Amino acid sequence: MTRRSFMKKTSVSLTGAALLGNDEELMRRCAAFVNNGRDPKGARRGYPYPGSNHRMTEFQAAVLTEQFKRFKKQDEIRQRNGKYLEQELAKIPGITPRNRYTEKTRFTYVTFEMDYDKKYFDNVPASRFAEALRAEGIPVSGRARRYSNGCHKEGMLEEHINSQAFRKSFSKACLKKYRESLQLPIIDNIKPGGKEKLSIEGKIAFLGPTKDIDNILEAFIKVTKNIDKLT
């Protein structure tokens, strides 16, 4: 029996599984199938095999059931604080929180990410800006936006496209057009994206009173006003 904790989710529980067999390749496929298609040997990166998340156990269900009892109340606080922080940070030129496409959209806020445009901050990189925020007690990381192993390159996608079900459901021309559409130079790091980001872990911080969010805002404003000291 193997177990692993997920400490960065909004609702957390243990994961566990037990599987026996003597066919190495079959066991590899089974392990991949219950773990979102990941290669258990690590020889192939990303999600090379078909699979999904089938790791739930009775114990996990019991743990999560208890958390669901307080989920609605906690989520109301999380959404209110997150939206407030989005609105206020958006007032700072160069800081752009992610889009909220409709008023009904809800975010998990496992992390709170925003685009950072250094030209508004005397070309101070996001990593340096984040360092200053951490000095103010705000757990922020900053770096250039980098992408790797985009889903359009995953082995599971090609395996599905080549499957009998897909070939029966879609024409050759349709599948060819889809493959040709997967030319994503920024995601594939062929062309630089030129964007940087800041990220706050919001799972715990967003469950506090509004004063906690105001402290975050005050730190952002302070660092912005003193950006010349970071150059």
Reported as a single tens digit per residue, the pLDDT across 74-114 is 999 999 999 999 999 999 999 999 888 887 778 888 889 99
Angle, CA 222 vertex, CA 217 and CA 227 arms, to 5°: 125
65 in any annotated domain: no
Find the length of the chain: 231
Closest CA to 163 of 49, 67, 84, 68: 49
27 in any annotated domain: yes
Contacts of 37 (CB under 8 A, 6+ apart): 47, 48, 49, 50, 51, 52, 154, 155, 156
Measured distance CA(171)–CA(182) in Å, rounded: 17
64 in any annotated domain: no
The reported pTM is 0.69
> At 8, which amino acid appears?
K
Confidence at 151, pLDDT banded by 50, 70, 90: confident
6 in any annotated domain: yes
Q: For residues 104 and 228, which has the higher predicted lDDT (pLDDT)? A: 228
- Residue 47: domain span: 1-56
* Residue 49 CB neighbour total at 10 angstroms: 22
175 in any annotated domain: no
123 in any annotated domain: no
13 in any annotated domain: yes
Confidence at 4, pLDDT banded by 50, 70, 90: very low
210 in any annotated domain: no
The number of distinct structural domains making up the chain is 1
